[in-house]
Amino acid sequence: MAVNLKGKSFLTLLDFTTDEIRYLIDIAKQVKAEKRTGIITQRFLGKTLAIIFEKRSTRTRTAFETAFGEEGGHPVFLSKDDIHLGVKEDLEDTARVLGRMFDAIAFRGFKQETAETLAKWSGIPVYNGLTDLYHPTQILADFMTIEEHFGSLRGRKLVYMGDSRNNVANSLMIGSAKMGLHYVACGPKELWPSEELVSECKRIADNTGAIIEITDDPKIAVKDADAIYTDVWASMGEEEKLKERIALLRPYQVNQELMDSTGRKDTIFLHCLPAVKGNEVTRDVIEGPQSRVFEEAENRKHTIKAVMIATLL
């Protein structure tokens, strides 16, 4: 099946088919191989990218800037203090101006609605580098990392441990449903994903062979897992909730005992980073031989480059 994503925004994996996600991962593998062998390409020569961030970042910002720059393009970083982003100017007006100045926009911020408004009014591709609801570029890197280690995605058991309704967990569940993984969200019932999203993912899973499960029992959740994934216990903007989250999520810490509970020696550990070592994961696990977090971090760059190649060229 031919895939054509030119001009399409990348706002949530719900907007992409299994074949389209597969296409993006395959491009990411190609550009990673190019980078490793020193092949220089200039696919974005003469193109410009606006990088608009309401939230700071290490991996997302550097991935967008280096991926676009390596291809000969000109990335321009704009924080919320640099431009009118819904302040003193309608967001729609900002979007229309940016659409005339740039070839694409990378957005990282709070409201999913902001990313959608930028996409609707700018007329150019908009890439979601994280919102409160979704983090789709992260999941491409996660899946690429799993596939590099195990050789395949379909049927792999991926367990998310902790705050199961945050942006990463939401997107992992959607991606797993689309790509035929066995996804288990494990955390306290207070932090389970919305029933609406779970139902949507199970509907998608009916057509892909994926399995979607929700549980509050860590030991049952991780049995036979290929990968265990976690994230910080309080997302950006939720720092005031950290004390209560620590009490609530302590039983869901990924430690060596939990890794061993899979019953497998080849289970890998994943984390989108940054990590608070000693909270959601122990230092010995994230620094240990089962951890793939830095391969995963590198793959942010290759998958983001793949999204931009697919939608700009």
Could you confirm whether 84 is annotated as catalytic?
no
- Which segments of the chain are extended strands (E)? 48-53, 74-79, 104-108, 126-128, 157-161, 182-186, 211-215, 227-230, 268-271
Lowest mean pLDDT among 90-99, 235-244, 251-260: 235-244
User: What tokens appear for 56 in the block?
Assistant: 């700071």
Annotated binding site for L-ornithine: 167, 231, 235-236
Is 13-134+297-312's fold the same as 138-293's? yes
- pTM here is 0.96
Residue 82 pLDDT grade (very low, low, confident, very high; cuts 50, 70, 90): confident
Could you confirm whether 253 is annotated as catalytic?
no
Start-to-end CA distance of the chain, whole Å, equals 18
Residue 181 pLDDT grade (very low, low, confident, very high; cuts 50, 70, 90): very high
Could you confirm whether 138 is annotated as catalytic?
yes
Which superfamily does CATH assign the domain made up of 138-293 to? Aspartate/ornithine carbamoyltransferase (3.40.50.1370)
For the segment(s) 13-134+297-312, the CATH number from 3.40.109.10, 3.40.50.1370, 2.60.40.3680, 3.40.630.30 is 3.40.50.1370
Pick the catalytic residue from 156, 253, 272, 290: 272
| Domain extents in the chain | 13-134+297-312, 138-293
Could you confirm whether 108 is annotated as catalytic?
yes
User: What tokens appear for 142 in the block?
Assistant: 């996660």
